[in-house]
Amino acid sequence: RREDALRASRRSSRAGFILLLLLLAAMLSFDAFAARVRPHACDDGGGGDDDDATEKSGGHHHPMPHLRPLPPSSSSAPPPPPMKVAVTGAGGRTGSIVMKLLASDASGAFAPPRGLVRSTKSGDKVRNLCDGGDANLCDVVEGDISSADALRTLCDGVDALVMLTSAVPKPKIGSMIAALVSKILPWAENKRPDFYFPEGGSPREVDYEWQVAQIDAAKRAGVKKVVLVSSMGGTQIDNFLNTMGGGGDVGDANILLWKRKAEMALVASGLDYSIVHPGGLLNKEGGKRELLVGVNDELLAGDRRSVPRADVARCVVACLTSPSAKNLSFDLASREEGEGGGATTDVDALLEAASGMTYDYSLPKNSPVPLP
């Protein structure tokens, strides 16, 4: 009996050993199968640990959802297309500098600009200024801001519009002579020259009605950004510039107030805007002075009230792409060359500083020009 029990025990051990071998073989086969299947699941956007998924679902296996591949990173995205910019007043002293800066930009941010000029002679000057008359570096539209057709052609297919138009008072010759004589003769009372605006060139027409026409043309064409160059002094009804061309009386010409009314129309238009109020414009080299920004004509209280045209043009171009310039109105002046902290080289930082200021379009009160 003892031998029978021993033989039975041996047979049971062999059977257990065989069963263990079979179990190990089955496990190895399952691992091999899983190794073949899991990479395909990861390629399809699934993956994750199956045991963790089963444990978190309370022991029940749920199929992993099909995931879409991630889009490429922003670093591999192509750069935005160059901005197409139209410029009114392109033949003027400041407008032509803006055209040159846009045409010579090496960053790829801007396409060749398109400028509106009033004559063939002015158009030739702008082309030559851009780069020796190379037709590929700028486009010129000949016409007038009072022409709906010219504005439609100018704004067609562009991304941004720069407005650099202004009524220009002309001096009366007799008053100029009298003003000169009054300065020469020590006993004579100093006199200022009288000015007039030519027919069809009044501030109401040029600085308001036809600026609103430019804004409307930009909206119809789908323009996304408008940069308007206006002037400091818009909060001051009694500013000397408001008397020019009006016989010396406030309430007739009011060039600054008509400009301000056009600014308000742009602000209310819904377009992304930047409005620059430069002080007295100087025909000096840009990039040589410290630039000053402010709001509400506060800079006029100081003794630095002018700025080179070239620096105004630099700020205009920067406003086209700077996020800080979105829906921004600011005043601009400069120190004398060599004063202050040195020349302003980072215009974007200047615009960021201006963006922290608040421009008050509730001023001026009791304007002779009806304001919104």
The residue from 231, 274, 322, 334 that is catalytic is 231
The residue assigned the tokens 């100087």 is 282
Determine how β-strand 306-308 pairs with β-strand 280-282: parallel
Known catalytic residue at 231: yes
Known catalytic residues are: 231
